[in-house]
Amino acid sequence: MSKKINRRDFIKTTAAAGAAATLMPKTLFSATASNRVKLGFIGTGMRGQWVLWLAAQYPEVDIPAICDIDDGMIESALKILKDAGKSEPRVYKNGDEDFRNMVEIEDLDGAYIATPWEWHHPMAIAAMENGIHVGTEVPAALTVDDCWDLVNTSERTGQHCMIMENVCYRRDVMAVLNMVQQGLFGELLHCQGGYQHDLRHVKFNDGKQPYGGGVEFGENGFSESKWRTQHSVDRNGDLYPTHGLGPVSTMLDINRGNKMVHLTSTATQSRGLHKYIVDQGGPDHPNADVEFKCGDIVTTVIKCVNGQTIMLSHDTNSPRPYSLNFRVQGTQGIWQKDAQSIYIEGTSPEAHRWESEDSYLEKYDHPLWKRFENEAAGSGHGGMDFFIVRAFIESLKGADPVIDVYDAVSMSVICPLSEKSIRLGSTAVKIPDFTRGKWKTNKPIFGLNDYI
């Protein structure tokens, strides 16, 4: 009998005995084979390769299998592993459904998923059903039913479904979380976040490189333009809410003492993508006839049960500087990222006037960042990618994940619900409680120490 079947049977038995996740010893996996973890990769495109490189830096991480459907992407991934001195993995590349063979055949502790959005849910389910913990790229699912499916499957199998929301680990965001936890802002009232990133050169390229050079997408595109752009053709809503919502969710204790109750979303007209095609490719380019459904700027307002509001923006089709639009405001003060400023009543030198955030970010630098700043340097996205990858690896060794399946779905469900609200003329739409009431007693889990 293979080791895989032993482990899977153990998990099934434990799950059947009830409350699998809580009964499993924290060190289940670390107790075996001296803390080594076996991590498979599904999707080795631009993001997958970067995370592969980061994971390959860990001597205790084995990467026995990878899966992709694109020979060029696989070749690049194999080179990354070779350069890092890792053994050559088995490759699953036999079509869209070959990931199922990988998770059935391979003896893996975890699977990291970095494929087009529509594949995250079926891949995460298949991995968990085969006794494999999941780290999925954002968003975790695209429909309300699929969000519930992730929760139910994670609870039934006892497998983690962590969303790899790296922005939760941004250095300034963690310092502000530290300030929130220490009560600097008083009681929180309002938070803002969003994805404000001019992606026109990502949504269109020349089919040979990931960024720009043409106005192709779909089967003529390369990397994200191959699949991401089609979502802007088909859907009108906040297509990418998690980078803005994840960080403020931890500050507001969402799923742990607080929950989101309802939202409204409103979209502007859709202009930017068509204009870009015409400007770059000319009015006669075949893509100039494509109609894009997604409004250029989508604004979502969420109401929390403890009273707070969250405003999210999705703004990816227009010329603009990058900004995740963070603002955190309470009864005692406010931080606003775009102004790089803060104001705390009674502490800031001048009433009614901003002061620079710098000294606060330094003073409240999070203990986790202090501990790992050297390791995080150069790891991507200002260092935050180091932390999210490390957190997933630690969870495979037995630690409780600090971003769990409930976070994965509460961040992701904003996609379909914002679409629904827009469809209904900006009507308020209820947000499901995926914790089934446990939010009332759950305690915060993220950013509590210098461990993960």
Ligand X SMILES: NC(=O)c1ccc[n+]([C@@H]2O[C@H](COP(=O)([O-])OP(=O)(O)OC[C@H]3O[C@@H](n4cnc5c(N)ncnc54)[C@H](O)[C@@H]3O)[C@@H](O)[C@H]2O)c1
Q: Is 84 in the site for ligand X (CB under 6 A)?
A: no
Q: Within positions 292 to 321, which residues make up the interface with ligand X, using CB under 6 A?
A: none
Residue of 29, 41, 53, 119 interacting with ligand X (CB under 6 A): 119
Residue of 41, 117, 169, 276 interacting with ligand X (CB under 6 A): 117
Residue of 62, 106, 137, 238 interacting with ligand X (CB under 6 A): 137
Q: Is 42 in the site for ligand X (CB under 6 A)?
A: yes
Q: How many CB atoms lie within 10 A of CB 9?
A: 12
Rounded CA-CA distance 197/194 in Å is: 9
Residue of 11, 15, 43, 391 interacting with ligand X (CB under 6 A): 43
CA dihedral 365, 370, 375, 381 (to 10 degrees): -10
Strand-pair partners of 112: 41, 135
The residues near 214 (Cβ < 8 Å, ≥ 6 apart) are 204, 205, 206, 207, 280, 281
Q: Is 46 in the site for ligand X (CB under 6 A)?
A: yes
**Residue number of the CB atom closest to ligand X:** 45
The CB-of-77 to ligand X minimum distance in angstroms stands at: 9
Rounded CA-CA distance 193/441 in Å is: 26
C-alpha to C-alpha distances, 273 to 106, 218, 315, nearest whole angstrom: 42, 14, 12
Total residues contacting ligand X (rule CB under 6 A)?
Answer: 27
Contacts 24+ apart (CB under 8 A), 272-277: 272/200, 272/296, 272/317, 272/318, 273/200, 273/203, 273/204, 273/229, 273/232, 273/317, 276/200, 276/204, 276/215, 276/317, 277/204, 277/215
Residue of 40, 45, 237, 295 interacting with ligand X (CB under 6 A): 45
Q: Is 212 in the site for ligand X (CB under 6 A)?
A: no
The residues near 57 (Cβ < 8 Å, ≥ 6 apart) are 84
Q: Within positions 343 to 382, which residues make up the interface with ligand X, using CB under 6 A?
A: 381
Residue 110 or 158 with smaller CB distance to ligand X: 110
Q: Cα(first)–Cα(last) distance of the chain, in Å?
A: 35
Rounded CA-CA distance 260/18 in Å is: 28
Q: Is 175 in the site for ligand X (CB under 6 A)?
A: no
Q: In this structure, what DSSP letter does residue 323 have?
A: B
Residue of 30, 157, 166, 313 interacting with ligand X (CB under 6 A): 166
The residue range among 25-33, 116-124, 185-193, 244-252 that interacts with ligand X, by the rule CB under 6 A, is 116-124
Residue 67 or 277 with smaller CB distance to ligand X: 67
Q: Is 99 in the site for ligand X (CB under 6 A)?
A: yes
The CB-of-346 to ligand X minimum distance in angstroms stands at: 37
Rounded CA-CA distance 55/103 in Å is: 19
Q: Is 224 in the site for ligand X (CB under 6 A)?
A: yes
Residue 146 or 155 with smaller CB distance to ligand X: 146
Q: Is 96 in the site for ligand X (CB under 6 A)?
A: yes
The CB-of-1 to ligand X minimum distance in angstroms stands at: 29
Joined together, the tokens standing for residue 314 give 């999705």
- Residue ranges binding ligand X (CB under 6 A): 42-48, 67-70, 73, 96, 99, 114-117, 119, 137-138, 164, 166, 223-224, 226, 381
